[in-house]
Copies of this chain bind each other. A is one copy, B any other.
Amino acid sequence: MVYHKTEKVLEKQQSRKRKILNAARELLAEKEMGSASIKAIAKKAGIATGTFYLYFKDKDALIDTMLKEIYKELLDLIKKERAPYTNGFDKLEATMKACINMFMSKKNLARILLDLTPQNNAVFNTKFTDIINDLIWLTKIDLDELMEQKLIPEQDTQVSATAFVGAFREVILAWINSDEPLNEEQAYRTLINFNLRGLGKS
């Protein structure tokens, strides 16, 4: 006798995997991240703890998958928002605006992607660092282009890109963890101007 999964079962399984990923996202995004235990995730996803291991090899695999997913969502949005522009500064500004909008509307995503405060998990930290480094690397590409075109002064673009991302990250995190800035417009402009001026936009 051979057993073949029916459509209904396949769908149920996919839905469960999604539920696990969503539960993990929600729990990780909450302030007290200690709460993101397998037991808690399983409970939130509506399954038994053992069931978790039918969908993911271990906790590391879950975190890996989750971070990849979130990062992809961010990159896709950035790509879309940058598409209309060819000028380097416009592209950078579009990138920042895309990030601000995404992070402010989906604060839980932002907490996971920008805030590494509370993780004890080695894979999480490694993956996380990789993502930040990747963002810095993408920024550096833009800066090298701008420097090539003499639109910004001679500088160590690796350092500038790191500073750029660092400034951005700290501000967004402050907004997320406290309450919004009083004057959104001015705050946004201040951040964007800080970074663009920092590069030496002439």
User: Which residues of A come within 8 Å of B, CB atoms?
Assistant: 32, 34, 116-120, 122, 125, 128-129, 136, 155-156, 158-160, 162-171, 174, 181, 183, 186-187, 190-191, 193-195, 197-200
Choose one: B32, B129, B167; the contact of A117 (CB below 8 Å). Answer: B129
Give the residue name and chain of the B residue nearest to A177 (CB). Answer: B129
Q: Which residues of B contact A199 (CB under 8 A)?
A: 194, 197
Q: Which residues of B contact A194 (CB under 8 A)?
A: 155, 159-160, 163-164, 198-199
Number of copies of chain A assembled together: 2
Which secondary structure dominates where chain A touches chain B?
A: helix
Give the residue name and chain of the B residue nearest to A120 (CB). Answer: B120
- A selection of 13 A-B contacts at a CB cut-off of 8 Å is A32-B122, A117-B119, A136-B174, A155-B190, A156-B190, A162-B171, A163-B190, A165-B170, A166-B166, A166-B170, A167-B167, A167-B170, A194-B199
> How many Å from the CB of A14 to the closest CB on chain B?
33
Choose one: B118, B165, B166; the contact of A168 (CB below 8 Å). Answer: B166
Q: Which residues of B contact A34 (CB under 8 A)?
A: 120, 122
9 additional contacts (CB under 8 A) given A116-B116, A118-B119, A118-B122: A118-B125, A155-B193, A163-B167, A163-B191, A166-B167, A166-B171, A167-B170, A169-B170, A197-B200
> How many Å from the CB of A64 to the closest CB on chain B?
17
Q: Which residues of B contact A129 (CB under 8 A)?
A: 117
Most B CB atoms within 10 A — which of A117, A174, A194, A199?
A: A194
**How far is B155's CA from A119's CA once the two chains are assembled, in angstroms?**
34
> How many Å from the CB of A114 to the closest CB on chain B?
10
Q: Is the CB of B156 within 8 A of A174?
A: no
Q: Which residues of B contact A128 (CB under 8 A)?
A: 117
Give the residue name and chain of the B residue nearest to A152 (CB). Answer: B197
